[in-house]
Amino acid sequence: LPKLQPPTIDEIGNCDVVKVEEIGSTRCIIFKQEQEGSRVATIVVRGSTTNMQEDVERCVDDAVHNYRGMSRDPRFVAGAGASEIEVARFVDKMGEKAPGLDQYAIRKFAEALQIIPRVLSQNSGQDPGVMLSNLMAAHEGNNPYVGVDIDEGTVCNAMD
């Protein structure tokens, strides 16, 4: 409240339903807004332990903030190792043109960028060498959004 005086109706807000409901063995007071235009939402988090509740709360908080970020700026970076492979290709080409011993350091950095898609493919039970060669071939074919599909064990467009 911006001022020290009794709040106005708009500052207090309103709701359509107030009721007491039992959730599990706990009585809760539920304030329910049935209008679609409401900007307020409530999520009730329950868990068998405090740690579990805190983990779920953190996940919900992350999801809400990610959605807010997406709403404000809809630009995305491709996941699934696609961005790392594309940057690795660019850095490797830079290394080819670098003079002297610098080229070795630059090319090793490009190789280090490939660790993300390598680990993704390993953790999904795929052969990392085969997956990296498939990714490189796809990126050479002007498909910068191709990454590791951990469900199918193939490459996929990570922006879809």
H-only helix segments in 73-114: 82-97, 102-113
Tell me the whole-structure pTM to 2 decimals: 0.59
- Distances in Å between the Cα of 81 and the Cα atoms of 130, 132, 155 are 14, 10, 10
Residue-level pLDDT, tens digit, the chain, 160 residues: 455 667 777 766 677 788 888 877 777 777 777 777 777 777 777 777 888 888 888 988 898 888 888 888 878 888 888 999 999 999 999 998 988 888 899 999 999 999 999 999 999 888 889 999 999 999 988 888 999 988 888 888 888 8
Cα(43)–Cα(111) distance, rounded to whole angstroms?
44
Residue-range domains of the chain with CATH: 9-72 (no CATH), 82-157 (1.10.560.10)
